[in-house]
Amino acid sequence: MSRLNTPSLDDVPADTREILDKVGGPLGFVPAMFNTIASNPAVLEAVTTLQGTMSRVLDAKTRHTIALAVSQANECGYCLAIHTYVSARFGGMSNEDIDLARAGSSVDPKRAAVARFARRVVDARGQVSDADLAAVRGAGYTDPEILAIVTVAVQALLTNFINNVNKPDIDIPAVDSVGAPA
């Protein structure tokens, strides 16, 4: 059960409802996390703006891989549910690749390197080693892409922390085992 108050839609400003509608449109529902964040329209705008901006920096499978690896590292059940659902339904990721991403790997060697690096960023609280940087560079990532990887990881951390504090009910449509929508 959510530990933070969730406003009713009647209690949020019209521009906040518009943001919620944009979030929920592609999914067919507004995830509980966003309904709760709507209690602070500035935070909702910050989260959704960051997500929109970061959706343009790396390909979708790479972003999903990072989000799954980071959410697993932070033991965020809500984020794992939503990222598993979105990765399978919209991201074209197989159950195997979703499982591997959660474990910090991938079926694709380049994405496996990004998953390991994202986990290192989280585990080391950003204090990655020269070897960590060399490994992700060795997989073919440029320094501008490494900045994007770190930012996508931090974006996932932000929602992990919000959801770990709040502990919302998981309202994500069911997925079988790890990935495919039921």
pLDDT tens figures, 19-29: 999 999 999 99
Residue in 42, 34, 41 with CA at minimum distance from that of residue 16: 41
Same structural domain, 41 and 87: no
Provide the token pair at 139.
Answer: 């997989």
On whether residue 173 sits in a domain, the answer given is no
Q: How many domains does the chain have?
A: 2
Same structural domain, 161 and 131: yes
Query: What whole-number distance in Å separates Cα of residue 6 and Cα of residue 16?
Result: 13
Same structural domain, 49 and 71: no
On whether residue 177 sits in a domain, the answer given is no
Residues for the chain: how many in total?
A: 182
Same structural domain, 64 and 23: no
pLDDT tens figures, 70-125: 999 999 999 999 999 999 999 999 999 999 999 999 999 999 999 999 999 999 99
Same structural domain, 48 and 70: no
With a CB cutoff of 8 Å and minimum separation 6, the contacts of 91 are 60, 61, 64
Q: Which residues pair with 181 in a beta bridge?
A: 175
Predicted local confidence at residue 179, as pLDDT: 43
On whether residue 125 sits in a domain, the answer given is yes
Q: For 145, what's the count of Cα atoms within 13 Å in the CB-facing half-sphere?
A: 18
Which residues span the domain enclosing 31?
9-54
pLDDT tens figures, 132-179: 999 999 999 999 999 999 999 999 999 999 999 999 989 987 654 444
Instruction: Kindly report the CATH number assigned to the domain that includes residue 109.
Output: 1.20.1290.10
Predicted local confidence at residue 175, as pLDDT: 55
On whether residue 2 sits in a domain, the answer given is no
pLDDT tens figures, 41-71: 999 999 999 999 999 999 999 999 999 999 9
Same structural domain, 149 and 67: yes
Same structural domain, 155 and 112: yes
Same structural domain, 90 and 67: yes
Same structural domain, 93 and 138: yes
Predicted local confidence at residue 182, as pLDDT: 46
On whether residue 172 sits in a domain, the answer given is no
